[in-house]
Amino acid sequence: MDFFLLSLVKAGVVAAVLLTTLAYLQWVERKVIAHIQLRMGPSRVGPHGLLQPLADVIKLITKEDLIPPHVNKFLYLLAPFLAMTMALISISIIPFGGEIEVFGTKTWMQLTDLNIGVLFILAASSMGVYGIALAGWASNNKYALLGGLRSSAQMISYELPMSLAIAAPLLLLNTLSLREIVQMQSGYAFGIVPRWSVFQGPFPQVISFFVFLIAGFAETNRIPFDLPEAENELVAGFHTEYSSMKFAAFFMAEYANMITIAAMTTILFLGGWHPIFPAAYGADFVAPLIFAIAAGVCFYHGLHPARRFDRITLPVFGFVFAAMAAAFLIPALHDALIPLFWFAAKTGFLLFVFIWIRGTLPRFRYDQLMNFAWKFLFPVALINLLVTGLMVALF
């Protein structure tokens, strides 16, 4: 009984955190790109624009939900549901941290662990293609159809190098369970170098890391691979005919896929929840130090406000950051929070890279997109896999 109750609680917590993250990842993206382009970003709704995601949700829920008369209604409605479901289902097997004890019951910071977890993620992400392809076809609109066709060709093409990039570290780690993959990357070579896949012998998986990350950009339809929704060519691509919450479902699916790709990169190549350097050198104090510095910065700017409300809002954030810094020093919470911090930090950095690339690179032409997949990325991933297999067989 305790197991089922704990599983329900974990599912509720993961769902709440994930949906909140999806909403605020969009706020973070708008803020980061605004800073890249030397402008403000969201700032009107709530302090520092923090209520903008809530305003967007209210707008999308209350917006008139139109269904064009010329669509295939069943497939038109199925497409956003399929895209969203396949994007969210992968989170159920992502391990966020190690084993913890809750009210005397030991549990893992993971909803469930499958011994074929990697294959499950690949299968779920492959099914997501159908949502976008069906949206393009069922809309009975030439721009949506072109977007759906582009997306199908692009996602199927880039799944090949992505799968080969995943296979190479699996040869080193010899397991398909995501939890075991992270555990196999624990420890430090020479006492300081983490035994992550990108550093692990006999053949470090740096090439696989970059191939997987690039293919991840293409799989999530992010710039410079956002050809399926190129607004200067296709209006909005596959979701041209969608409005209200059906449009929001595609929007949320994109960000959920970003989180999945970033989390999988962390698990496969960056050691999951394991720290960058050993606890003996102070790894456990990095998190409280960062939050303490953030609190100090908030208090300082609260005393020297640039805007009228900063005198109120920044000290509040300062107290929140100070409380989070103190929480990491409480022995009862320490063992649960430190792995969670390192996993979130690595995943968050990769999500920042997604946003950074969007604000930096232009969009490919479609022929460049396909040439890059088939003539460069696929051969590189294949050669890397063959060399890795040879090195593992020899050493």
Task: Find out whether 375 and 48 touch, Cβ atoms under 8 Å.
Answer: no
> What gap in Å lies between CA 256 and CA 254, rounded to an integer?
5
> What gap in Å lies between CA 110 and CA 98, rounded to an integer?
8
Query: Is residue 360 left, alpha or beta, with left meaning phi > 0 and alpha meaning psi from -120 to 50?
Result: alpha
Structure confidence at residue 235 (pLDDT): 67
> What gap in Å lies between CA 169 and CA 196, rounded to an integer?
10
Domain boundary assignment for the chain: 56-274+330-394
Q: In the chain, count H helices and then E strands.
A: 14, 4
Structure confidence at residue 208 (pLDDT): 93
Structure confidence at residue 230 (pLDDT): 65
Identify the sign of the CA torsion 332, 334, 337, 340: negative
Structure confidence at residue 234 (pLDDT): 64
Name the stretches of the chain with pLDDT < 70.
1-2, 228-236
Structure confidence at residue 302 (pLDDT): 87
Average model confidence (pLDDT) across the chain: 86
Phi and psi for 168 in degrees, rounded to 5? Answer: -65, -50
Structure confidence at residue 318 (pLDDT): 92
Structure confidence at residue 213 (pLDDT): 92
Q: Of 259, 282, 297, 296, give the one whose Cα is nearest residue 328.
A: 282
Structure confidence at residue 1 (pLDDT): 56
Six token digits for residue 259:
């989180």
Six token digits for residue 266:
């962390």
